[in-house]
Structure 1
């Protein structure tokens, strides 16, 4: 957009003096779009309907991004600011930033928000110590967290929340979570993180698909993990949703889908991401730089045999179509990649982690060029797949020729144990 940057566009939203009324041009003014009815009301909508009373009289810092919206599509920060009922003194932006203009592994930096004039702090990668310093500088008394999660342990927003809670605990601040649905449902699946492999994509021991909302995770973190790191939030509030059940997928909620990050454009992407994100740990493209990230998977050395092999597995809920694509960015950019597009045929039957394991097993059998990604910056734990899955087990089993059934069976006890342990923290039944 030549001559216009993001700051200009956002600031221009308030420039009513340059607008020409449609009536002056002889056209009827359009009726205001009605907000569609949803079967679920988010915590943000519940609190907004009450005039934000739970935040009155305190200096508020909001940890959010573009997914922190009401059902009318407006940012909660803009709504709080315009209401005059909330004293928002700071906004904290996670990965991709508050307004969502940054790519994976990037943020927007510290800046004054041009729409509201509120100071926005870059919280991506912040430690509890540095985040606590931001709280002190801004004078925050209560931290509000409102970000749409996708249900995966390695999606960084839940760990941003963990750090934000730890900083709040150390500063003696209140912490409020505006709860949102888990878009892939409430079922727990996958391997457990082990202490030796914790990182920014899995800071504590939870399983790969935790099946919890961010509000439920906040309760788990506060009870089981924050005390080990030297803090507990004494004033933790979860503003609960209305109408959400654990058996719901996103399509059941009636809510707007706002991209949680640039590479999760649709609810179907979220359903597959919990499994196909494992391809970040390989030399295949996971579809970044295409219009179907985490659905298109491939590499220059992959041919038709992979799609045929996967089709022969008869996996429930998915169809594998032979596909060729040329990513614009990220791995294998600028070259033609052969591979598959994973189509969801039955969301209820889909087990995306099992699907990804079958895909990896097939690659290992078919292509000697297949490699696990190694990171030179972590010589002690060089394989990214180990950080994503929580241990070297999946990698070493597949390298040894194990079947997908054997790999999946290895974490059944872990899944059962976590399902039992999380029960006392669940809000929705």
Structure 2
């Protein structure tokens, strides 16, 4: 079984008992016997003085995009500072009495997941204030040896994408922390506590660890496998399955002819995946209470399955079969949501100009050599 960085930290924490500690955690921060880390660390005699929580809150109960207020943790009585409200970076005064920040949150292994930007923001501030910073490492659930997708163009940087990462970066949060520190001059006094027994070819099921949904719409490891691609549908007027039992595995809309879409998509002959027609009624989010027709993405061979290539084909074929109904979501500031998700407008423009989207994604992945070289310098697991 894989031993997480938190498990290793719990074994060797005596040196930190003299420090005031701030924890950056959520509900995924648990020990091997399923104790919440805050409870275990306080019981071990560590002086935890504050908690910082990311999107979805300390207990993981808040839906996506919903701002969270500061609160007091009922059990420990400690202040819980929200890093997904008015402030996505801590105020300096919140860290005045803190000597050490400890980050322990399970990630999904993709660029557009906000926990890694909570990591980056808190690391950067710790570097500026001269605070020590520890990352307790956890597995990349979709393996650590796959790199896919385009690198983000910094003019599209946001809290859902930054630091020129490709969509699927193939790093753990500990390796990402080292990457941020090295490549972007955070100057953070960083210690990464590595896992034991984890190897780069492991998928989450191989770790022996229980799956704790990192966010409300990440209920299964199957969702994690398709999410690097099906997240694209968040930038469209197609339901990505929120409010169903299969978020990001089911996609659809009331105006879709699922048979017609499937016929067009099957012609791509994509590796490692099959599509099944599905009918669903979301209970929240897009098309709440309406009957949607769509597709269920079944990964039949995760080794050769390419979620990003698959999502590109899904959107291209849907635009072809339903040109008058498919739309991109435009934000209040006139930007397109898909451009922030993809970190570029090239994807959207290529589709509008009816250029083969597979050629675009293949070109982007041919440009990953620089990132791969930089990533190689920070890898903890060989």
Q: Give the Cα–Cα distance (whole angstroms) in 1 for the partners of residues 346 and 157 of structure 2.
A: 15
The SS at the match of 2:227 is: helix
Does the CA contact (< 8 Å) of 1:65 and 1:93 recur in 2?
A: yes
In structure 2, the partner of 1:93 is 53
Cα drift, residue 126 of structure 1? 5.8
Stretches of structure 2 that go unaligned for 5 or more consecutive residues are none
- The C-alpha deviation readout for 1:105-142, integer Å capped at 9, x for no partner, is 12542121111112111111565764323212xx2110
In structure 2, the partner of 1:46 is 8
What is the number of residues matched between the two proteins?
Answer: 379
Cα drift, residue 393 of structure 1? 0.8
- The C-alpha deviation readout for 1:248-267, integer Å capped at 9, x for no partner, is 11111111110100000011
Q: How does 1:103-182 map to 2 (within 5 A)?
A: 103-125=63-85, 127=87, 130-136=90-96, 139-182=97-140
Q: Give the Cα–Cα distance (whole angstroms) in 2 for the partners of residues 106 and 78 of structure 1.
A: 26
> Cα distance 1:87–1:198, how it changes in 2: closer, same or farther (>3 A)?
same
Q: Give the Cα–Cα distance (whole angstroms) in 2 for the partners of residues 415 and 371 of structure 1.
A: 30
Matched, 1:413 2:371: no
Matched, 1:65 2:26: yes
The SS at the match of 1:411 is: helix
Does the CA contact (< 8 Å) of 1:319 and 1:342 recur in 2?
A: yes
- Deviation beyond 6 Å, 4+ runs, structure 1: none
Q: Give the Cα–Cα distance (whole angstroms) in 2 for the partners of residues 45 and 384 of structure 1.
A: 38
Q: TM-score, with normalisation over the residues of structure 2? A: 0.96
In structure 2, the partner of 1:215 is 174
Does the CA contact (< 8 Å) of 2:88 and 2:118 recur in 1?
A: no
Stretches of structure 1 that go unaligned for 5 or more consecutive residues are 1-37
Q: Give the Cα–Cα distance (whole angstroms) in 2 for the partners of residues 54 and 309 of structure 1.
A: 61
- Which residue of 283, 289, 293 corresponds with 1:338? 293
Matched, 1:199 2:158: yes
- The C-alpha deviation readout for 1:143-190, integer Å capped at 9, x for no partner, is 000000101111000001000111111211000000001001111111
Matched, 1:320 2:275: yes
In structure 2, the partner of 1:372 is 328
- The C-alpha deviation readout for 1:227-255, integer Å capped at 9, x for no partner, is 3xxx411x210000011111111111111
Cα drift, residue 100 of structure 1? 1.4
The SS at the match of 1:257 is: coil
Does the CA contact (< 8 Å) of 2:83 and 2:89 recur in 1?
A: no
Kindly report the root-mean-square deviation, in angstroms, between the aligned alpha carbons of the 2 structures. Answer: 1.4
In structure 2, the partner of 1:9 is none
Q: Give the Cα–Cα distance (whole angstroms) in 2 for the partners of residues 301 and 406 of structure 1.
A: 28
Does the CA contact (< 8 Å) of 2:237 and 2:326 recur in 1?
A: yes
Does the CA contact (< 8 Å) of 1:202 and 1:390 recur in 2?
A: yes
Q: Give the Cα–Cα distance (whole angstroms) in 1 for the partners of residues 168 and 49 of structure 2.
A: 35
In structure 2, the partner of 1:78 is 39
> Cα distance 1:335–1:128, how it changes in 2: closer, same or farther (>3 A)?
closer
In structure 2, the partner of 1:427 is 380
Q: Give the Cα–Cα distance (whole angstroms) in 2 for the partners of residues 42 and 101 of structure 1.
A: 23
Cα drift, residue 74 of structure 1? 1.2
- The C-alpha deviation readout for 1:61-85, integer Å capped at 9, x for no partner, is 00010111112111111110122x2
